[in-house]
Structure 1
Amino acid sequence: MKDYVKTVSAHRQALHLIPELSFHEYKTTAYIRNTLKQLNIDYLTPLETATIVYLKGNSGKTIGFRADIDALPIEEETSSPFTSTHSGAMHACGHDGHTSILLTFAELCKTQQDQGLLKHNVLLIFQPSEESNAGANALIKAFPFSDYNLEAIFALHLGPDTDEGVILTKEGPLMASATEYRINIKGRSAHVAEKETGANALGSLSHIANQIAQIQQYHLNGLNQNVIHIGKMTAGEAINTVASTGYLEGTIRTYDPKDLEIIKQKIDAVVKSSDLIFKTSTTLTVAEGYPPVINTSSLLELVEKSVESAGLRFKVKEHPYLYGEDFSFYDTVAKTNFAFLGIRNEELGYTSGLHTSTFNFDEKVLINGVTYFQEILNNLGE
């Protein structure tokens, strides 16, 4: 039998060398498609950098498995022998691992299909642009998922806070919605000696930032977990002038769509009140965000059984993460489960968090993801 540990490791090392940013995953996509061609696996190309494989099995049931393929604008600092060759880009979120798992699983499924042993139909989704621009949403709009009558879609994400050999998940909310907002303030410059003739964009910016910080305390249920974060502020031109411009940007994380609507309404009200006070003209832009990841409760039993039959440890996360993830869009297509594959190994020094320049892991652990996906097929009823 083929050594799939070596296969998944080789894929990961090759992909780690060529990280590419969202919707620009050209070399990555070429690697995926060339690998599939070598395996004699047909594929579909609904987007320039999206690749989908359908393999017919021995039942009428179809199961989806998704991997995201993009990287982050981070300069790598791991001193790995296969460090990124693309300056300013790095697989700092483990998407090279996700893609390697799915490519290896594709080979395993194809072998089973050729032998007449593939238990169910599989739909393998190599998705671009998870880190920005909601690649999942774009793919759902471009590809006829409804034609495949999917039973469910599963995905894994590498988890550096979870030990090797563990798969971590939960029913219901697992990850938060992620919504970005940006505030541009236009004031009127004046010399500090005649400050009353200006429109102070810096004063407006300070007011807005202060009031945004009060939204959670005064306008939302204290039992609900929300984050209204300000990540960047700029204002002003000179030490002795009234600021004529100001800018603020941040992100909102929440699990309740009603809370998100309240937050957006209150930020809008704050902006309008600030214009009245400071005589400024302000524009609020709220980007279409990622919905929260809500795992389908009815899939948890199958997930637990599959984790255990894969020889791994199943762990339920007590509280959801505040990370955002565009896998959330797939629940408009089918039942979904998102889980974390443990990669933490303190003995080997693999402890760096996601989105850091030193993020790394032992790629041999990726075989656990391949085995878990296989056990989902094995444990799904006829």
Structure 2
Amino acid sequence: MEYEYLKETRRWLHQHPELSMQEFETTAFIKNELDMAGIPYETPLPTGVVAYLKGTTDRAVAFRADIDALPIQEENDVDYRSAVDNVMHACGHDGHTTMLLAFAKRVKALYDAGQLTATVYFIFQPSEETEAGAHQLLQAYTFDPQPDYIFGLHMMPDNEEGLILSKPGAITASATEYRFFITGLSAHVANKEQGHSAGEALTFILNQVSQLQHYHLPGLRQNIVHIGQFHAGEAINTVPSNGYLEGTIRTYDKADLETVQTQMTKIAEACAVVTGTNVEVKFSEGYPSTHNDRAAYAMMKAASEDTSLEWVEKKEPYLFGEDFAFYSTIAPTAFAFLGCRNTAQNFVTGLHTSTLNFDEKVLLGGVDLFSAILSRFEATL
């Protein structure tokens, strides 16, 4: 019965993906499921839901799922493929939402039987992929009582079914975007000395940014300063008057991020002096690094022993960003990755690909882990 629910729910969600902050149909679906189960909820944002079941003490624990999809055209040839052009659940959020709904139903059974001591929150969060939905939700919603811990799971197609992967400390990187805007002075190529070339400025910036990792960041720590896109110029026979460069910074240490931002600001200033152009660098507030609290991590790891999952402790964190990081501002957190790779069924492509897919049976392991965490937490009360 539960497996059929997981299968049907995940496939409905997969067929009806919605982009960040546009998850209105998804939110309506979640609310309907909660209504049928008799689980109360609140909607602090236009999309997304915070459901809860009140325990008999002032202690609480929270579990989070993200609900948004990506602007990707699905290429899977399945009868439950996305029904929306250029929108797809290519990051497994349909699986995350499904697991949390199934887990909420399990907890409701405990509640109805008078066996729930702690208050349990079920956070169905919008806009993980963009606009930091977690941050927005925390600004709009006050938990009462405050959760002692917040836990999250993420599908991981790089690893086999039955594995659960995490590590103490940093588990994902911070993700901050940067953009250089260059304004020069155009001139005909015949009188090029009369202009100020945005192309020369762009070359200067490219060279300096590419050296940041080598000269200014600790060699023993993982960081990425990535150049994603750049261009300059307007015509074949004129001095370029405009230039642009953008990229992303991935770090685990706040001090490293501050170093990169400081050096980029200096690069912009130096470039303006050397080339005579106007150079401005802007940073978009990104996601912090997700860090697993040691006590929360220990509880999650111990809970995995009560399931069929095999715990794998990673040696190195992932270099992608994850807005689950914001939850650590209100409570200790732990985040792990649920293996869903299945070579026999050709479910082998990675996150954010047009052919991501998985067998819904792996979701049972995630629901079991949430249940085991709750049981372990209740045993401490």
Deviation at 1:80, TM superposition (A): 1.9
CA distance in 2, matches of 1:118, 1:343: 31
- Bigger CA drift: 270-279 or 111-120? 111-120
1:107 aligns with 105
Residue aligning to 2:28: 30
Distance 1:41 1:24 in 2: 24
| 1:306-326 Cα deviation digits (max 9, x unpaired) | 111012111101101101001
Residue in structure 2 matched with residue 281 of structure 1 by the alignment: 278
Which residue does 1:260 correspond to in 2?
Answer: 257
Contact 2:168 2:292 in 1 (8 A): yes
Opposite residue 108 of structure 1, the aligned amino acid is R
| Alpha-carbon distance in 1 for matches of 2:258, 2:302 | 38
The equivalent residue for 1:229 is: 226
Question: 1:248-288: CA deviations, max 9, x gaps?
Answer: 11000001101111100101111111111211112211011
Range with greater deviation from structure 2 (294-303 or 327-336): 294-303
Contact 1:119–1:378, Cα closer than 8 Å, also in 2: no
Q: Which residue of 1 aligns with 2:214?
A: 217
Aligned partners of 1:348, 1:144: CA distance in 2, in Å? 43
Shift of 1:59: 4.2
Which residue number in structure 2 is paired with residue 194 of structure 1?
191
CA deviation after TM superposition for structure 1 residue 113, in Å: 1.0
Partner of 1:291: 288
Equivalent of 2:79 in 78, 81, 93: 81
Residue 355 (str. 1) matches residue 352 (str. 2): yes
Contact in 1 for aligned 2:159/2:339 (Cα 8 Å) = yes
Q: Aligned partners of 1:200 and 1:34: how far apart in 2? A: 59
> Is this contact kept in 2: 1:58–1:116, CA < 8 A?
no
C-alpha distance in structure 1 between counterparts of 2:75 and 2:182, whole Å:
37
- Structure 1 alignment gaps of length 5 or more: none
Structure 2 match to 1:19: 17
Match of 1:7 in 2: 5
Q: Secondary structure at the match of 1:264?
A: helix
The alpha carbon displacement at 1:57 in A equals 2.8
- 1:79 is displaced (CA, Å) by 1.2
**Which residue number corresponds to residue 299 of structure 2?**
302
Q: How does 1:25-174 map to 2 (within 5 A)?
A: 25-145=23-143, 147-174=144-171
Query: Could you say which residue in structure 1 is the equivalent of 2:337?
Result: 340
SS across alignment from 1:303: helix
Amino acid at match of 1:40: G
TM-score under structure 2 length normalisation: 0.97
Match of 2:17, SS state, is coil
CA deviation profile, 1:127-165 (whole Å, cap 9, x unmatched): 0111111111111111113x3221100000001112111
Aligned to 2:315: 318
- The separation in 2 between residues aligned to 1:343 and 1:186, in whole angstroms, is 48
Cα distance in structure 1, aligned partners of 2:77 and 2:231:
35
Q: Give SS of 1:252's match.
A: strand
Out of 232-241 and 131-140, give the one that drifted further.
Answer: 232-241
> What letter matches 2:46 in structure 1?
E
The letter of the residue matching 1:300 is: Y
SS of the aligned residue for 1:371 comes to helix
Contact 1:183–1:283 (8 Å) recurs in 2: yes
| CA–CA separation in structure 2 for the residues paired with 1:177 and 1:113 | 38
Letter in 2 for 1:365: V
The code of the aligned residue for 1:312 comes to L
Provide the C-alpha distance between the structure 2 equivalents of 1:315 and 1:299, rounded to a whole number of angstroms.
16
Structure 2 Cα separation of the partners of residues 79 and 209 of structure 1: 42
SS in 2 for 1:288: strand
Is the 2:297–2:333 Cα contact (8 Å) retained in structure 1?
no
Alpha-carbon spacing, 1:342–1:119, altered in 2? closer, same or farther (3 Å): farther
Q: Following TM superposition, by how much is the alpha carbon of 1:119 offset from its aligned partner in structure 2, in angstroms?
A: 4.5
Identity %: 49
Kept in 1, the 8 Å contact 2:189–2:239? The answer is yes
Q: How many residues align?
A: 379
Structure-2 separation of matches of 1:376 and 1:60: 18
> What is the CA–CA distance in structure 1 between the aligned matches of 2:203 and 2:154, rounded to whole Å?
38
Q: Per the alignment, in what secondary structure is the counterpart of residue 75 of structure 1?
A: coil
Give the alignment partner of residue 181 of structure 2, picking from 176, 179, 184. 184
Q: Which runs of 4+ in 1 moved over 3 A?
A: none
TM superposition shift of 1:333: 0.7
CA distance in 2, matches of 1:363, 1:281: 54
SS of equivalent to 2:43 = strand
CA RMSD after TM alignment = 1.1
For 2:48 and 2:140, locate their aligned partners in 1 and report how far apart those are by CA, in whole Å: 10
The one-letter amino acid paired with 1:252 is I
In 1: Cα distance, 2:258 partner to 2:48 partner? 32
TM-score (norm 1): 0.97
